[in-house]
Each structure stands twice: as structure tokens, then as C-alpha cells.
């Protein structure tokens, strides 16, 4: 009997078609598998699952998957999956590194430019009929050229952001668990700061590109925000809980920082109410990887991992966590 795959919600159709060439595929309704209970009820029927970040793949879910061989996340991040439990139960876990680097880096730059030049506030003003002609003091913002970008987390995406920021004439400093090789540092023209407390006060833009771990939870808290320059911008396209949202909202309302571009939230899909009306705060619904190309690439990489594992190939052939 053909193996069965659960894709927990609709994804790019060509990916679904690819999996259908090999297996019986069910596609859930959007949001139907956002709870542990729904996943536990469904999982015994499936040999593989292709979940979204919003699906909690807990130990209970994995244990209920009697036939489950692989969880292939539709994302590079995998904080929705209990990876250790999967290992204990001999279930493979795959993610999608590499394919979303460019789209996330581009989006990060888009947020920096938009917040730096106050694009959303300017559009709101114009649409409200307040534009009364060119104004010498209207909507003064921060130019990226010549300003200092502090990157926290210098993996693939952090490095891709650095490349693009170089092209805009920014000076780059970074903090990472380990220092990059001197070759990569000189290619990126980036200087290492071993301590966040020395990086943050120097930066005009702070951009987060680290994974969510116990060490990075609330890495940017009230104390770190206090260290930011009063015109500096915070950009978060990594994971919501890396920032203490309450503290960020307070800093924006108090004007102790200049603005924020936030694509990820502490308790998605909830958004802290004080962020929604904070000045110069651009909020987007976790879309840094949302280009047609990248979403197809993400889906195909996850699909290929499922095909390989269910056809008996070794885990070393897939992006394997
Ligand atoms: C990821 O892949 O981890 C992004 O946050 C969503 O594409």
C-alpha cells in the first residue's frame, strides 16, 4: 500500500504534485493542525508529515505517530519541533536551510529602509489627506549610507544581510556565538564584537538573525534596549521571543529608540497591543521568506527529504537535524 503523507496546510501546488507522484497525500485546511490534539489524532495514519511553524510537533505527537518516519518542516527554523524527542523515537527531522537566505535578507533590508525613511507613517499621512506640499522638516529619517549596522547572529542570513548592507555603504559590526574566519570577515568587511553590550551602543540599526534557544530568549530586553542610541532602529526577522515585546513597545512609546521593523512575534499570531500603536513601528505578518520562488524552494526541499527517507535513503542525504 502506498505511503501516506500529511501536509498540514495548503502550500505551493507544484510541491503537492511532486509528492503525489510517489505517495498518497492529504492536505489539511489552513490552521487545522495548530494544536497538539489535532496532530495527535491525525498522525497515526501517516508515514511522513510536512508541518508548518505553527504546528507543535511535541513528543506526544511524535509518540502517536506509529508509522512516522520523518518530520520535514516547511521552514529553516524548527522551534516548533521537539527534535530530541524525535531522535529518541527514531524519527528523522529535516528543515530547509539555504533556500530562504536571499529572500529573508532582502526583506530585512526592506524593513531597514522602510523604517529608516518612515515610509508607513508617510503613507498614512498622505492617505489621511494631510499632505499640503513639500515640507523642509517633514518625515526626516535615517540614511543607511554611512550608518552602522549591528548584526546579531552571523549565520547564512546574517551574512547575506551584511553583503547587501555593504552595497548600501553601511559599516558592519556583528556578534555571533563564534567569530567568523578572518577571510569571511574581510569579504564582508565586518568587525566582530564579542560582547553585545559593546555592539548595541555603536549601532544605528540592530538586526536579529539568531535562532530561538534558551540563551537567545529575550536577548533584547529592557537593558539592551536602554543601550541603543535614541535614533537607532531594531529589526527582527528571526524569532519573536528573542525580543521582550513589552520592553520594546515601551522603548518605542518613550522614544528611547528611533523605530522598529518587526516580522515575528512572541506569541504568533498575537501581536502585543502596545506595539500596534507604537511610533515608527512597522509590523509584518512573518513574511520574510514569502516570495513565490522561495516558498516553492522551501516546499521542494522538504518534499525531497520525505521522498529520500521514505525510499530508504540515508538521513545524511537530507538537511538533517
Ligand atoms: C523559517 O523558515 O524559519 C521562516 O521563519 C519562515 O519561512
Total domains, the chain: 2
Whether 321 maps to a domain, the answer reads: no
Whether 237 maps to a domain, the answer reads: yes
**Residues spanned by the domain of 245:** 101-283
175 in catalytic set: no
Q: pLDDT confidence of 45, banded at 50, 70, 90? A: very high
Ligand 1 contact via 76 beta carbon (within 6 Å): yes
Task: Let me know whether 44 and 111 are in one domain.
Answer: no
30 in catalytic set: no
Task: Let me know whether 45 and 135 are in one domain.
Answer: no
Peptide bond into 92 cis (omega under 30): no
pLDDT of residue 1: 56
151-188 confidence digits (pLDDT tens): 999 999 999 999 999 999 999 999 999 999 999 999 99
Q: What is the residue-averaged pLDDT of the chain?
A: 97
Residue 227 Cα distances to 49, 150, 249, angstroms: 43, 13, 15
Residue of 239, 245, 266, 272 marked active site: 239
Task: Let me know whether 41 and 130 are in one domain.
Answer: no
Q: Which of 144, 145, 261, 150 is nearest to 202 (CA)?
A: 150
268-284 confidence digits (pLDDT tens): 999 999 999 999 999 99
ipTM of the complex: 0.96
Task: Let me know whether 53 and 142 are in one domain.
Answer: no
Rounded to 5 degrees, φ, ψ at 220 are -95, 95
- The residues facing 234 across adjacent strands are 206, 260
57-92 confidence digits (pLDDT tens): 999 999 999 999 999 999 999 999 999 999 999 999
Q: How far is the CA of 127 from the centre of ligand 1 (A)?
A: 33
87 in catalytic set: no
Instruction: Read off the CATH number of the domain in which 21 is found.
Output: 3.40.50.720
The residue to mutate among 9, 52, 288, 291, having the most atoms of ligand 1 within 8 angstroms of its beta carbon, is 288
DSSP assignment string, 151-218: EE--SHHHHHHHHHHHHTT-EEEEE-SSPPPHHHHHHHTEEE-S-HHHHGGG-SEEEE-PPP-TTTTT
Task: Let me know whether 126 and 209 are in one domain.
Answer: yes
pLDDT of residue 77: 95
Task: Let me know whether 56 and 10 are in one domain.
Answer: yes
Q: What is the mean pLDDT of residues 88-110?
A: 97
Task: Let me know whether 216 and 144 are in one domain.
Answer: yes
Query: Cell triple for residue 57?
Result: 510537533
Query: Cell 496532530 sits at which residue?
Result: 39
SS3 category, 311: coil
Amino acid at each position: 500500500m502506498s505511503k501516506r503523507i500529511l501536509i498540514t496546510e495548503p502550500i505551493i501546488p507544484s510541491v503537492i504534485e511532486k509528492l503525489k507522484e510517489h505517495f498518497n497525500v492529504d492536505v489539511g485546511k489552513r490552521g487545522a493542525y495548530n494544536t497538539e490534539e489535532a496532530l495527535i489524532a491525525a498522525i497515526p495514519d501517516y508515514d511522513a508529515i510536512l508541518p508548518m511553524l505553527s504546528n507543535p510537533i511535541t513528543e506526544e505527537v511524535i509518540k502517536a505517530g506509529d508509522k512516522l518516519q520523518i518530520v520535514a518542516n516547511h521552514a529553516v527554523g524548527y522551534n516548533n519541533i521537539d527534535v530530541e524527542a524525535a531522535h529518541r523515537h527514531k524519527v528523522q527531522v529535516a528543515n530547509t536551510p539555504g533556500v530562504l537566505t536571499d529572500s529573508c535578507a532582502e526583506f530585512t533590508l526592506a524593513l531597514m529602509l522602510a523604517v529608516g525613511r518612515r515610509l508607513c507613517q508617510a503613507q498614512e499621512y498622505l492617505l489621511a489627506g494631510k499632505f499640503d506640499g513639500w515640507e523642509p522638516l517633514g518625515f526626516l529619517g535615517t540614511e543607511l549610507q554611512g550608518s552602522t549596522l549591528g548584526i546579531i547572529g552571523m549565520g547564512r542570513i546574517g551574512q547575506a544581510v551584511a553583503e547587501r548592507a555593504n552595497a548600501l555603504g553601511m559599516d558592519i559590526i556583528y556578534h555571533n556565538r563564534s567569530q567568523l574566519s578572518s577571510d569571511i570577515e574581510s569579504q564582508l568587511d565586518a568587525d566582530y564584537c564579542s560582547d553585545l553590550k559593546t555592539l548595541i551602543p555603536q549601532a544605528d540599526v540592530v538586526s536579529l538573525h539568531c535562532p530561538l534557544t534558551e540563551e537567545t530568549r529575550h536577548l533584547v530586553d529592557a537593558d539592551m534596549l536602554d543601550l541603543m542610541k535614541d535614533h537607532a532602529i531594531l529589526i527582527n526577522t528571526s524569532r519573536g521571543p528573542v525580543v521582550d515585546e513589552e520592553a520594546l513597545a515601551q522603548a518605542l512609546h518613550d522614544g528611547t529608540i528611533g523605530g522598529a521593523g518587526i516580522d515575528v512575534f512572541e506569541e504568533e499570531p498575537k501581536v502585543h497591543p502596545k506595539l500596534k500603536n507604537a511610533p515608527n513601528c512597522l509590523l509584518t505578518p512573518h513574511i520574510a521568506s514569502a516570495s513565490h520562488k522561495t516558498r516553492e524552494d522551501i516546499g521542494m526541499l522538504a518534499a525531497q527529504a520525505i521522498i529520500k527517507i521514505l525510499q530508504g535513503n540515508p538521513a545524511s542525504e537530507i538537511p538533517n537535524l
